[in-house]
Amino acid sequence: MFEFGTSEHLGDISYFYGKPIDITKLKVDVLSDVRKKLQNVGDQIKTLQTTYPAVQQTSCYICKDSASVPCAEVYGFTYVRCATCGHTYTTERYSEQDLLDFYKNSTFYSTQTYGNPASHQYRIDHVARPKMEFLEYFTKGKGRLLDGGSGIGDIPLVAKQSGWDATGIEVSKDSVQFGTEQLGAPLLQGSFMEHLDLIEERALDAVTLIGFLEHTIDPIHFLQQVYTKIKPGGHIMIQVPSADSFASMIQASFPQNVFRHMVPMDHYQLFSKDSLDRALEQTGYTIRGYWFHGLDLYELMNHLSIMHPESAGTDSPLFQTFLEHMDKLQLVMDQAQKSDRIIVVAQKI
DSSP 205-254: EEEEEES-GGG-S-HHHHHHHHHHHEEEEEEEEEEEEBTTSHHHHHHHH-
Pairing of strands 165-170, 187-189: parallel
* Per-residue confidence (pLDDT) for residue 263, from 0 to 100: 94
The predicted pLDDT at position 225 comes to: 98
112: pLDDT strictly greater than 60: no
Lowest mean pLDDT among 5-14, 104-113, 132-141, 258-267: 104-113
Q: What is the mean pLDDT of residues 177-196?
A: 95
Contact, 270 vs 241, CB < 8 A? yes
| Average pLDDT estimate for 60-72 | 97
pLDDT band at 105 (very low <50, low <70, confident <90, very high): confident
**What structural domains and CATH numbers belong to the chain?**
6-348 (3.40.50.150)
The pLDDT-based confidence of 99 (bands split at 50, 70, 90) is: confident
Which one has a higher pLDDT value, 146 or 105?
Answer: 146
Proportion of the chain above pLDDT 90, given as a percent: 81
The phi, psi pair for 243, rounded to 5°, reads -75, -25
pLDDT at 145: 98
pLDDT at 348: 98
In whole angstroms, what is the distance from residue 143 CA to residue 205 CA? 6
257-269 pLDDT, tens digit per residue, is: 999 999 998 899 9
Residue 62 scores a pLDDT above 80: yes
Q: What pLDDT does 163 receive?
A: 98
pLDDT at 116: 64
What average pLDDT does the segment 293-301 reach?
94
Helix (H) or strand (E) holding 175: helix 173-178
Confidence at residue 312, expressed as pLDDT on a 0 to 100 scale: 67
DSSP for 150-172, written as a single string: -TTTHHHHHHHHTT-EEEEEES-
pLDDT value at 110 more than 80: no
Inform me whether the pLDDT recorded for 343 exceeds 60: yes
Give the distance, in angstroms, between the CA of residue 96 and the centroid of all CA atoms in the same chain: 18
Among 5-14, 119-128, 325-334, the least confident range: 119-128
Q: Is the pLDDT at 117 greater than 70, yes or no?
A: no
pLDDT in tens, 302-321: 998 898 887 766 778 888 88
Give the pLDDT band (50/70/90) at residue 22. very high
Residue 3 has pLDDT above 80, yes or no: yes
User: Please, what is the average pLDDT of the chain?
Assistant: 93
Banded pLDDT at 45 (limits 50, 70, 90) = very high
Question: Residues 203-258: pLDDT tens digits?
Answer: 999 999 999 999 999 999 999 999 999 999 999 999 999 999 999 999 999 999 99
pLDDT at 114 over 60: no
Do 15 and 289 touch, CB atoms closer than 8 A? yes
